[in-house]
Structure 1
Amino acid sequence: MASASTPASMSGASRPDRMLGICQIVGFVCIFGFVLNMAVLFLPPQLRDATWRLGFLQQFGDRSLVLLIGAALMIAGSIDSRRWLRQLSLISLFLGGIYLITCLLVVKDTLSLRQQALNNISAQETQVQNQIRNAQSNPAALGQNVTAEDLQRASQTLTGQATIAKQTAQTTVLKTGIISIVNLVAIGLGLVGLGRYGLSTRR
C-alpha cells in the first residue's frame, strides 16, 4: 500500500511545478510577441512627428494588454524563485512607471494636434473668404449667373462648414488622446500592481 501511494503523491507534488512552467512559457510568448509587434510598428521611426507619435502610442496602449498578461504569467510562474521574482517585479514596476510617464507625452501631442487641426481649418477658411471678398469688391469680374447675394450665402455657408469641421476635428483628436491615455494608465497601474505584489510575496 505504501509503495502504491508514493508515485501518486509524487505526481501530485509535481503538478504545481508543471503549472508554473506553463505560466512561464505562455508569459514569455506573450511578451516576445508584444515586443515583435511593437518593433514592426515602430519602424521606421518619425519621433519628431506628433501625428506619428500619437498613432504609435495609441497602438502601443491598445496592444499592451498582452504585455500585462505576459508579465502576470511570468511573475506567477516565478513565485517559487526569489531571485527571478524580484527581478521580474522590479522590471514590472519600471515599465509601469514608463507607461504612466508616457501619458504626459500623449496629452502634449493631443493638444498640439488639436491646435494644428484648428489652425489648418481656419487658414483654409480665411483663404476662401478672401477670395469671396475680392469677388464682392469687383462686381465686374462676376459672371452673369453669380450675384452678390450668392457670394454672401456662400460666405455664410463656408463659415458654418468651418465651424462644424473644427468641432469634428476637436472631437476626433480628443477622443483618440483620451482613449490612449486611459489604456496607458490602466496598463501602467496594472504593471505597478504586479510589481508591488511580486515584491511583497517574496518576503
Structure 2
Amino acid sequence: MTSMSNATYVSLPRANSHTSKIFLILGLACIVGFVINMATFAIPPNPMALEWRLVFLQQIGNRSILLFLGTAMLLYSLLDLPSLVKPLALACLIMGIVLPLSCVLLVRDHLVLQTQTMTSIDNQAQALQTQIQIAENDPSRPTEVTPELLQQAMAQVESQTDSLIQNARNNTTKSIVANAGNLIVIGLGLISLGRFGIKQTV
C-alpha cells in the first residue's frame, strides 16, 4: 500500500508539469499566431483611413478568441511563477479595457461608411432620374421610348434605390453587432482572466 501511494504521489507532479508545458506551448502559439495575423492586416499602417481602421478592427474582433484562448493557456501554465503571472494579469486587464473601448471607434466608422454609401447611392439615383426627366422632355427621343416606359424606369430607379439603402443599413447593423459583440465579450473575458491572475499572486 505504501509503495502504491508513493508511486501515485510521485506521478502527479510529472503529469502537472507536462500539462503546464503543453499549455505554455499552445498559449504561445495562439498569441504569436494572433500577432502575425494582425500584423498582416496592419501593414502598411494607415490608421487615418476609414477602410483601414474598419478592416483592422473587424479582424481583431474575428480573431480575438485566439488571443483569449492563448492568454488563458499561458496564464495557466505560469501559475507556479507569480513573478510572471502578475505582469500577464495586468496585460489582460489592459487589453480587456482597450477592446471594448475600441467599439466606440468601430461603431463610428461603420456609421460614417454607411452615410457615405447611402450618399453615393442617392447621387447615382438622382443622376439616373435626371437623365429620365431629360428624355421625357426631349421631343427628338426615339418613338419606342414612350412616356409610360420612362415612368416605369423612374419607378424602378426609386425602388432599387430604396432597396440598396435598406441593404446598406441592414449590413451596417449586422457588422456592428457581430464585431462589437466579439470585442466586448473577449474584453470582459480578458478582464476576468486578469482579475483571476492578480488574485493568485496575493
Aligned to 1:196: 195
- 1:53-108 C-alpha deviation (Å, 9 max, x unpaired): 21221121111111100100111111121111101100011111110111111110
Aligned to 2:120: 120
Aligned to 2:154: 155
State the one-letter code of the partner of 2:160.
Q
State the one-letter code of the partner of 1:74.
L
For 1:145, what is the secondary structure of its paired residue? coil
Aligned to 1:164: 163
State the one-letter code of the partner of 1:173.
T
Cα contact 1:95–1:188 (8 A) shared by 2: yes
State the one-letter code of the partner of 2:143.
Q
Correspondence 1:18 to 2:41 = no
- 1:96-143 C-alpha deviation (Å, 9 max, x unpaired): 1110111111110111011111100000011111111112222x2310
1:75-114 pair list within 5 angstroms: 75-114=75-114
TM-score, normalised by the number of residues in structure 2:
0.92
Gaps of 5+ in 1: none
1:178 is displaced (CA, Å) by: 1.6
**What is the distance in 2 between the residues matched to 1:8 and 1:134?**
92
State the one-letter code of the partner of 1:86.
K
For 1:157, what is the secondary structure of its paired residue? helix
**What is the distance in 2 between the residues matched to 1:129 and 1:5?**
88
| Stretch of structure 1 that moved more, 144-153 or 8-17 | 8-17
TM-score, normalised by the number of residues in structure 1:
0.92
Aligned to 1:58: 58
Cα contact 2:57–2:106 (8 A) shared by 1: yes
Cα contact 2:82–2:200 (8 A) shared by 1: no
The percent identity for this pair of structures is 34
**What is the distance in 2 between the residues matched to 1:8 and 1:152?**
88
**What is the distance in 2 between the residues matched to 1:2 and 1:184?**
53
For 1:141, what is the secondary structure of its paired residue? coil
**What is the distance in 1 between the residues matched to 2:4 and 2:134?**
102
Cα contact 1:114–1:174 (8 A) shared by 2: no
Cα contact 1:110–1:173 (8 A) shared by 2: yes
For the aligned residues, what is the CA RMSD? 1.8
How many residue pairs align between the two structures? 202
Aligned to 1:175: 174
| Stretch of structure 1 that moved more, 2-11 or 113-122 | 2-11
Gaps of 5+ in 2: none
